[in-house]
Amino acid sequence: MRTRIRVEGIVQGVGFRPFVCGLAAEHGVAGFVGNDEAGVFIEAEGPLSTVDTFVGDLRRRAPVLAVIERLRTSRRRPTGQSGFRIVASAGGGARRALVSPDMATCADCLAELWNPADRRYRYPFINCTNCGPRYTIVTDVPYDRAVTTMRDFPMCAACAHEYADPTDRRFHAEPVCCPACGPSLRFVSAAGASLGGDPLDTAAAWLRDGQVIAVKGLGGYHLAALASHEPAVAALRLRKHREEKPFAVMVADLAAARALAHCDDMALSTMEDPRRPVVLVPRRSDAAVALSVAPRNGQLGLMLPYTPLHHVLAAAVAGPFVLTSGNVSDEPIAYDDRDALDRLSRIADGFLLHDRRIHVRADDSVVRTYPGGLVPLRRSRGASPAPVELPSPAPRPVLACGAELKNTFCLAKGRHAFLSPHIGDLKNAETLRSYACGIAHFSRLFDVVPAVVAHDLHPDYLSTTYARELEGVAAVGVQHHHAHIAACLADNGYAGPVVGVAFDGLGYGTDGTIWGGELLIADLLDFRRVDHLTPVPMPGGPAAVREPWRMAAAYLDHACGDDIHGLAVVRRQAARWADVVRLSRTGLASPLTSSAGRLFDAVAAIVGLRDAVTYEGQAAVELEQLAAAGCRDAYPVPAGAGLRGATRPLVWAMVDDVRRGAPPDVVAVRFHNGLADATVAAARDAASQEGLSVVALSGGVFQNVVLLQRVLSGLAAAGLRVLVHRQVPPNDGGLCLGQAAVAAARDRAGLVP
C-alpha cells in the first residue's frame, strides 16, 4: 500500500525529515518526505502492516523538539518506487508551519564540543537537528538554510556530507557549520581595535581582570562582568544606568548554581530545561557574588549556558559572570552589530563578536519556582514563538496589542496564539519601533493578517494608539483585569466562568479610576466586578508609583485619619507629609486606585523598607523577601467583609503592631497572611454566591509566592479548584494572550462588527 501523510505542528527545524528517513530505512518503507508551508508531507509505500507501524512510530518516536499537533493520512495508488528520499521544499500555499524556538546545546553536541579529537572541538557555533538557533535566525518560511542568516556561510565538503547523510545527526540541520565554513569570533576593544589571539580566551581574561564585556549571543547582545568582582559589576551598573534592579548570572553548571543559591529540585530541573530560562533562587549567605549584582535582594537570577559560545566562555572564565541585556536602561536589547557597537561602546570595555547575523531579538526568559510550582515571569527566548493553545479557535485572525509595561503582543489564528518575545516597556520611540517591526515579522512568519485587533482600555498607552490607528480591522477594547483573568483561563485551557482574582500594579478600569485589587466573575466573553480593595488616592499620580511613602500617606489617611503618631514614615517625610495628605484629600492630581500593588508599596514604606523605588515592583519584591522567613500569624479581617471591607482593618492592625514595636519582618508576614486570608474569604464567598467552583489568580502581584502559596492552600482547603499561570506570566507580559482570547470569544459570539 501507499499512504500520504501530513504532519502539522512544530515539525520544521527540529530534525523531523531526517527522523522520517531513519524510520523509513528501519522499516524498509519506500517513498519521500518534504517540507512545505503547512508542515511536513510524506508518502510511504510498503506492506500494509509495515506502513501502519511506520505511521504509529511517527508520533511515538518523534524528535525531542517536535510538537505534532495534527497527523492525517490518505490512501494513494502504489508506484512500485524503491528507496526513500528527501524532496525539495515546496512553497506557495498558505503558511501554517510553525517555527521552533531557539534551543539549548544538546548533550551530543556538548560531548563533541569538549572532545579534542572532534573537528568542532571548542567551536562556539556547534549545533545539530536537536539543538541550536532557530527563531532568531529565520527570515521566512518554509524553514530552510536559504531563509536563515546561515545562508551567508556555504557549507564545506565535510559539513555538506553530514547534511546529506540520512544516518547523520546533522542530516538537514539547517544551521550546520564548522570552523572551516561557519561563523567565527572576533574580539574588539571599545576603541575598535581588533585583538589577536583566541577571542574567547581574551574575553575570559578581560572578564577575570574586571572589565565589562559585550557578548553577542543568540537573541541579542549581553553585557558581562565577573560576578564576584564588585568594581566591575558596579561599573556596569553605573554605565548602564541601572540602579538596583538585579542582574542575571550565568553559572557553568548545576554545581556552580548550588554554590551560589539554595536550589530545590524544581529550580534545578527548570534551569536544565532546554529553554534555559533565568531562574530566581534564594541566594546563599556565603555566595561569592558582589553586592552590586542584586542590591538589597535575597535572590539571585541564575542561568546555565545555552549556546556553545556560552559553554566555552563559562569554562574559560571559570567563575560565575553577570550576563544582562545589552542596552541602556529601558531601551530594547541590541542585536544589530552596528547599532550594538554604537550603543554599547560607552558601557563595554571590549566586544566579543561573531559574524552570524541575528535576524530578530529575543531576550532571556525568566521564571521563579516555589515548592511544587513555578511562576513564569517573562516568556521569551526558548519559549516564543511556540504557540499557546486557545480554549476555542479564533474565527478570524486576531492581533492583541498588550499593555505598556513588560509588553508583548500576540497573533492568534485558529487555535494558535503566537506570543512575541519580551519587547519591554512601551514608553519610548525605540521600543515602539521594535514593537511595530516585531508585529510585521510575526505576520509574515505565521501568515496572519489580523482582522480583529484587541487592545487595553487605557487611552494613553502607545499600544492602544497603535491599535486604533490600524485601518480595515475591527477594534476590541478589553478591560485590563478581565484580560489578566482571561490570560489565566487560556493558559489553563479553560473557558470559565470563574471567580477571578486580579491583583496588579495599575490597570484602567471601566469607571475611569485605576483598578488593581479586583474580584471579577469572568469568562472569556465578559466580566462583572463584584468586589475590590478600597480605592484610595494616589497623591501626585505617577510620583506615587516612584515614591511608596506617598501611598503610605494615602492609606494611613484612609485608615487612621489624623491619628498618625509614633510612625517612623511620618517622621522621615515630615517636610512633605501634610502637603501630600492635603493633595490626596483634594483629589487634585490624585487619581483613585484599588491597586493591590500600591497597597504593598504603602506597607513597605510603613515598615521602613523604602520610601522610593528605582524600578517597578521593587518595594513589593523586598517586602515579600522580608516576609519569607514565615510564620502563620495574620492580621485579622472581619468575616464577610470582602476585599472592600478588608483594607482598613488590615492597615489598622498593622499600624497598631508597628506602634507596639513589632519587628518589620513580623509585620511583613502578618500583612501577607492577612491579605491572603481576606482574599481567600472574598473569593470563597463569591464562589458560593455565584455557584462557581473554580478560581483564577492573575496579575503581577501573584509573582509573590508568599502570597500565592497561602491563597492557594486556603482556596484548596475550601474545596475550590485554583487556576494559576504556567505558560505565560501573571504580569502584563502575559496580558496579550487574555486580550486575544477575549477578542476571539466575542468574535465567535458575533459581537465584533
CB 737 to Fe ion: min, Å: 13
Nearer to Fe ion, 95 or 406 (CB): 406
Q: Which does 560 bind (CB under 5 to 8 A by kind): Fe ion, Zn ion, none?
A: none
Distance spanning both ends of the chain, measured CA to CA: 50
Per the CB < 8 A criterion, the answer to whether 90 and 34 are in contact is yes
**Cell 500576540 belongs to residue:** 410
- Residue 612 interacts, among Fe ion, Zn ion, none and using kind-specific CB cut-offs from 5 to 8 Å, with none
Q: Which CB atom, from 129 or from 739, has the smaller least distance to Zn ion?
A: 129
Q: What is the DSSP string of 143-192?
A: --GGGBGGGGSPPPHHHHHHHH-TTSTTTT-TT---TTTS--EEEEETTS
Angle, helix 574-586 to helix 548-560, in steps of 10 degrees: 70
User: What cell does 251 get?
Assistant: 553559572
CB of 317 to Fe ion, least distance (A): 38
- Considering only 504, 531, 622, 624, the residue that binds Fe ion (CB under 5 A) is 504
Query: What does the block give as the cell for 620?
Result: 513589593
The site that binds Fe ion (CB under 5 A) totals a number of residues, namely 3
Q: Does residue 425 interact with Fe ion by CB under 5 A?
A: no
E strands, 379-526, in order: 388-400, 410-419, 452-456, 474-478, 498-508, 514-522
Q: Which of 261, 701 has the CB closer to Fe ion? A: 701
Q: Which does 159 bind (CB under 5 to 8 A by kind): Zn ion, Fe ion, none?
A: Zn ion
Of 11 and 377, the one with the shorter C-beta distance to Zn ion is 11
Q: Which residue is nearest to Fe ion (CB)?
A: 504
Answer with the entry of Fe ion, Zn ion, none that 180 interacts with (C-beta below 5 to 8 A by kind): Zn ion
Binding flags for Fe ion, 506-545, as an x/- string (CB under 5 A): -x--------------------------------------
Is-contact 175 150, C-beta < 8 A? Answer: yes
The torsion angles phi and psi of 514, rounded to 5 degrees, stand at -100, 120
| Residue 128 interaction partner, one of Zn ion, Fe ion, none, beta carbon < 5-8 Å per kind | Zn ion
> What is the nearest approach in angstroms of Zn ion to the Cβ of residue 704?
38
Report d(CA 78, CA 45) in Å as an integer: 7
Among residues 504 and 624, whose Cβ is nearest to Fe ion? 504
CA 281 → CA 262, 269, 271, 291, distances in Å?
Answer: 6, 13, 10, 16
Among the listed ranges 19-27, 102-110, 203-211, 504-512, the one in contact with Fe ion (CB under 5 A) is 504-512
Min dist. Cβ of residue 618 to Fe ion (A)? 16
Closest contact distance (angstroms) between CB of 138 and Zn ion is: 18
Please tell me whether residue 505 adopts helix, strand or coil conformation.
Answer: strand
How many residues are given for the chain? 753
User: Helix, strand, coil % (nearest 5) of the chain?
Assistant: 35, 25, 40
We find the least distance from the C-beta atom of residue 128 to Zn ion, in angstroms, to be 3
Half-sphere exposure of 281 (CA within 13 A, CB side): 26
Nearest distance from C-beta of residue 108 to Zn ion, angstroms: 5
* Residue closer to Zn ion (CB basis): 112 or 331: 112
Q: Does 732 bind Fe ion (CB under 5 A)?
A: yes
Q: Using the rule CB under 5 A, give the single segment among 215-223, 344-352, 630-638, 732-740 that binds Fe ion.
A: 732-740
Is the four-CA dihedral 642, 648, 653, 654 of positive or negative sign?
Answer: positive
Least gap, CB of 63 to Zn ion (angstroms): 11
Least distance in angstroms from the C-beta of 507 to Fe ion: 5
Rounded CA gap, 180 and 153, in Å?
10
Which of residues 9 and 509 has its CB atom nearest to Fe ion in the complex?
A: 509
CB nearer Zn ion, residue 180 or residue 631: 180
Question: CB count, 10 Å around CB of 166?
Answer: 17
Nearer to Fe ion, 624 or 685 (CB): 624
Helix or strand run (H / E) with residue 2: strand 2-10
Positive or negative torsion for Cα 497, 502, 508, 512 = positive
Q: Residue 178 binds what, of Fe ion, Zn ion, none (CB under 5 to 8 Å, by partner type)?
A: Zn ion
Nearer to Fe ion, 216 or 458 (CB): 458
Question: Which residues of the chain form contacts with Zn ion (CB under 5 A)?
Answer: 106, 109, 128, 130-131, 156, 159, 178, 180-181
Minimum CB separation of residue 732 from Fe ion in Å reads 4
Pair 502, 699: CB distance under 8 Å: yes
User: Minimal distance in Å, beta carbon 87 to Zn ion?
Assistant: 24
Structure-block grid coordinates of residue 330:
529601558
For Zn ion, the closer CB: 161 or 296: 161
Q: Which does 732 bind (CB under 5 to 8 A by kind): Fe ion, Zn ion, none?
A: Fe ion
Kindly state the cell numbers that stand for 669. 508576614
Q: Among the candidate windows 15-23, 128-136, 455-463, 725-733, which touches Fe ion by CB under 5 A?
A: 725-733
Residue 150 site contact among Zn ion, Fe ion, none (CB < 5 to 8 Å, cut-off depends on kind): none
DSSP 250: E
Picked from Zn ion, Fe ion, none, the partner binding residue 156 (CB below 5 to 8 A depending on kind) is Zn ion
Which regions of 481-533 does DSSP assign to beta strands (E)? Answer: 498-508, 514-522, 527-532
Nearer to Fe ion (CB atom), residue 655 or residue 711: 711
- Given Fe ion, Zn ion, none, residue 692, with its beta carbon under 5 to 8 Å by kind, binds none
CB 258 within 8 A of CB 282: no
When the beta carbons of 17 and 406 are compared against Fe ion, the nearer one is 406
Stretch that binds Fe ion, among 8-16, 557-565, 673-681, 727-735 (CB under 5 A): 727-735
Binding-site partner at residue 331 among Zn ion, Fe ion, none, CB < 5 to 8 Å by type: none
Question: What's the CA gap between 658 and 565, in Å, rounded?
Answer: 11
Of 734, 676, 726, the residue nearest 374 (C-alpha): 726
Confirm if 324 and 305 have CB atoms less than 8 A apart: no
Q: What is the DSSP letter of 230?
A: H
| Closest CB 145 distance from Zn ion, rounded Å | 13
Q: Which residue has the cell 562582568?
A: 225
504 binds, among Fe ion, Zn ion, none (CB under 5 to 8 A by kind): Fe ion
Does 404 bind Fe ion (CB under 5 A)? Our answer is no
For 376: left if phi > 0, alpha if psi spans -120 to 50, otherwise beta; the answer is beta
Choose between 420 and 739: whose C-beta lies nearer to Fe ion: 739
CB-based contacts of 717, cutoff 8 Å, min separation 6: none
Positions touching Fe ion (CB under 5 A) are 504, 507, 732
